[in-house]
Amino acid sequence: MKQFKQLHLTLILFAIGSHLPSNASAAQANNPFKMLSTKTLAACASGAWNATAVYTGGMTASYDSKEWRAKWWTQGNTPTTSPDGPWAYVSDCGGGTGGGTGGGSGDPALTTVPAPTGHALCRPDGMSITAGTNAPYCLTYDSNGREKLGNLKRRIIGYFTSWRTGKDGSPAYLAHQIPWDKISHINFAFAHVDNSNKISIGNETDPNNAATAMQWPGVVGAEMDPAFAYKGHFNLLNKFKKQYPSVKTLISVGGWAETGGYFDATGKRVNSGGFYSMTTNADGSVNTAGINTFADSVVAFLRKYNFDGVDIDYEYPTTMKDAGNPLDWTTANARRAGLMRSYSVLLKTLREKLDAAATVDNRYYQVTIAAPASAYLLRGMENMAALQYLDFANIMSYDLHGAWNEFVGPNAALFDDGKDAELAHWNVYSTAQYGGIGYLNTDWAFHYYRGELQAGRINMGIPYYTRGWRNVTGGSNGLWGKSVGSNCPTGVTGCGNGAVGIDNIWHDLDEQGKELGGGGNPLWHAKNLERNQAGTYIASYGLTPNTDADDRLSGSYVRYYDATLVAPWLWNAQKGVFLSTEDETSAQRKAQWIIDRGIGGAMIWELAGDYDWNATRNNGRGEYFIGSTLTRVFNNAFKTASQYGNKRSTQATTIGAIDLKFELLDYKLGDANYPINPNLKITNNSSFALPGGTEFQFDIPTSTPNTMADQSGFGLKVITSGHAGNNIGGLKGDLHRVSVKLPSWSSLAPGASTTLAVVYYLPISGPTNFSVTINGKAYAIRSEQPYLPYVK
């Protein structure tokens, strides 16, 4: 995981659009209620001013009972007496109020729309509407747009993996071991994108296919249900869904290993391109055919195997070079410029095709993602406009520190403590533009997504596994110490020295079949290490303690806990081993934080890592083993919790809506995107010309400091700050409010756009919660408030 590099850039302020002096005077106020003179005026000789027409120097037009002459080329600029404006007053005249397509001096006329009825009442606030469908939202959501979750008030989403079958001799984790009565969703991991751009789980009839063909004879609870034509995990999931109908199942596609390829029947990885080539052509353009093929196959897959939705785990559609699995870099790096655009098309297409299928099937299908928490990756994912197509996002708020680099820290800290060694190394705390905000923590990641989604459409990731290093030096009991490695994975330079052997039983293998050091363990193994107990299962993971010192229990593992970070860890001083863990203390604190913030719930990777004390194991002496202790912590907290936050905005009600489009565009690629400097494009899709001085306001998340500005002379600024200063212990508020106005001498004609360059220093999703103030009256925008009376 790379983090922000300090780029010493000189910002050059510049003006775009009109090249008028910066001291342009305010436009003369147009008073629609002024007294008309009793003097009879000659009829206006010129045609009425039209906001969409082009006028060159010397041309005339009538507007507001006056004749006007253009000083120079102009379009969309309302005639006023401003000395710096493009119009010169000629004389009063009769009639000629002008405005053409709506640019008059009064308020825009509002057209009412029918109030939502039926399933539309249950659509979550801010989720996109698929035209021509009647998706049955109310089967899944209540009339407040909150998901129906059985006896829970917040989601508990558990990832259930295909590979813990027990067939290799290691402990199995099968569907009957899932705590069905404690959770709300199960995400099956993983399906992949095959060579024909379709969703696949391999040869469905191969007896070794764990998803659809494998069986476990003699295992109590794993008996197949003959009602289904397929066997394997899918049979068992559907068998238990009959008993627990409130639990939804989703098929998760991709993951770290299968984003850019997949594993064939022999276990060999096929570098097919996966999501990268399915969504994006080699020249960076959108692969529309590939996306449509994939989305159609997902619809068929959900229907065939009785899933309630699809979860896209695409790691990662970012412009940052060498991101994601090093095995995918060749394919991904060539397409970086187009990946986010294609990602949005992918999620939009899935939303539309699944809404159409839901209308036919009278069964609602969810679309979700597993989303990164790393500010480095998110800096290259623009402003995540694709979030609007989701039911919710599951944030991978873990792997925030790991042996891919030398900085020893928590896997999934809840808060920043101002001491993060990685952030300190990159001068994040001492660089003014960052505002002292540390971004490698769960709280920061939540606030990033809060910029586009209400809290209830966000679920925060909880790791049921460890990360760790060996030969750690410095730090406080290892925390914020260093561990420098030399045997780095393919494509990676400057890695850490990851824990191995008995400290790494859930390890991955490299392409040569050798152990990758990373300190990956289920939490039940970490609990046994805390008791300085090896565990009777270690041989099943290939450990040979009699011949390999790394596999042997040695030293003493001591638990430490940092209340500011909300992070426990094990420290073995004799070995210099640091293992970042989770336990009841951190889980209870995170559950309460989720409740207090109105967040939708918790997402667990992965269910098989949870623990219980098992008194019968180890010849009756007992040891920790697979269980559901932490899941019960979240279940107990969420059964009695308040309802989650179901609205994106807390702004005052507006009187109507106007059809404007706001886009952040032209992001620079890779490391060139610091500072983050896109263009904000505002397009008037209504028939009303917005007068000079029209104010636009919107929210951005407190994941970025309250210093957003523009470089185009429009005066964009934060007018209400949700947070200032460092974020030790958490960001205080969720959103900043930003304001920008059209220059007083310029209007925005129907169909016209204006663009300004903006700058900020930590990534955001959104913006959202727009308001448009015209003649002192506030309007929403139609894409956010489709049922308000609107301006045609």
Query: CA-to-CA distance for 317 and 341, rounded, in angstroms?
Result: 9
Q: Which of 329, 319, 330 is nearest to 384 (CA)?
A: 319
How far is residue 611 from each of residues 244, 522, 586, 627, 655, measured CA to CA in Å? 22, 8, 14, 4, 54
pLDDT for the residue 202? 97
The string of DSSP codes covering 381-416 is: STT-GGGGG-SEEEEE---SS-TTSSB---SS-SSB
Joined tokens for residue 541: 């993971």
Residues 120-159 have pLDDT tens digits of: 999 999 999 999 999 999 999 999 999 999 999 999 999 9
CA angle 184/190/192 to nearest 5° reads 135
Give the position of tokens 């623990």. 611
Task: Quickly state the pLDDT bin for 24 (edges 50, 70, 90).
Answer: very low
User: How do 577-580 and 110-111 pair as beta strands?
Assistant: unpaired
Amino acid at 301: F
Q: How many CA atoms lie within 13 A of 373 on its CB side?
A: 27
Q: How large is the greatest C-alpha to C-alpha distance in the chain, in angstroms?
A: 110
Residue 594 region, left (φ>0) first, then alpha (ψ -120 to 50), else beta? alpha
Contact 409, 422 (CB under 8 A): yes
Among 12-26, 377-391, 562-576, 635-649, the least confident range: 12-26
Torsion of CA 437, 440, 445, 446, to 10 degrees: -80
Residues 334-346 have pLDDT tens digits of: 999 999 999 999 9
Torsion of CA 79, 80, 84, 86, to 10 degrees: 10
How far is residue 451 from each of residues 387, 726, 746, measured CA to CA in Å? 10, 19, 30
Q: What are phi and psi of 252, to 5 degrees?
A: -95, 135
Contact 183, 158 (CB under 8 A): yes
- Name residues whose C-beta falls within 8 Å of residue 74's C-beta, 6 or more positions apart in sequence: 54, 55, 86, 87
CA angle 291/382/786 to nearest 5° reads 75
Among 215-224, 409-418, 665-674, the least confident range: 665-674
Radius of gyration of the chain (CA): 29
Contact 633, 585 (CB under 8 A): no
Query: CA-to-CA distance for 103 and 488, rounded, in angstroms?
Result: 64
Amino acid at 439: Y
- Name residues whose C-beta falls within 8 Å of residue 680's C-beta, 6 or more positions apart in sequence: 662, 663, 664, 710, 716, 740, 755, 756, 757, 758
Residues 190-203 have pLDDT tens digits of: 999 999 999 999 99
Q: Tell me which of 271 and 671 has the higher pLDDT.
A: 271
- Name residues whose C-beta falls within 8 Å of residue 385's C-beta, 6 or more positions apart in sequence: 344, 452, 664
Strands (E), 670-749: 679-684, 695-701, 709-710, 717-720, 735-741
Asked whether residue 70 carries a pLDDT value surpassing 90, the answer given is no
Contact 763, 379 (CB under 8 A): yes
Query: What CATH fold (topology level) applies to the domain 653-791?
Result: Immunoglobulin-like (2.60.40)
Contact 712, 17 (CB under 8 A): yes
Residue 712 DSSP symbol:
S
Residues 557-609 have pLDDT tens digits of: 999 999 999 999 999 999 999 999 999 999 999 999 999 999 999 999 999 99
pLDDT for the residue 43? 64
The string of DSSP codes covering 672-683 is: GG-SB--EEEEE
3-state secondary structure 33-64: CCCCCCCCCCECCCCECECCCEECCCCEEEEC
Q: Tell me which of 631 and 27 has the higher pLDDT.
A: 631
pTM score, whole prediction: 0.88
Among 74-78, 138-142, 257-261, the least confident range: 74-78
Cis peptide upstream of residue 190 (ω within 30 degrees of 0): yes
Q: Determine the length of the chain.
A: 792
- Return mean pLDDT, the chain: 91
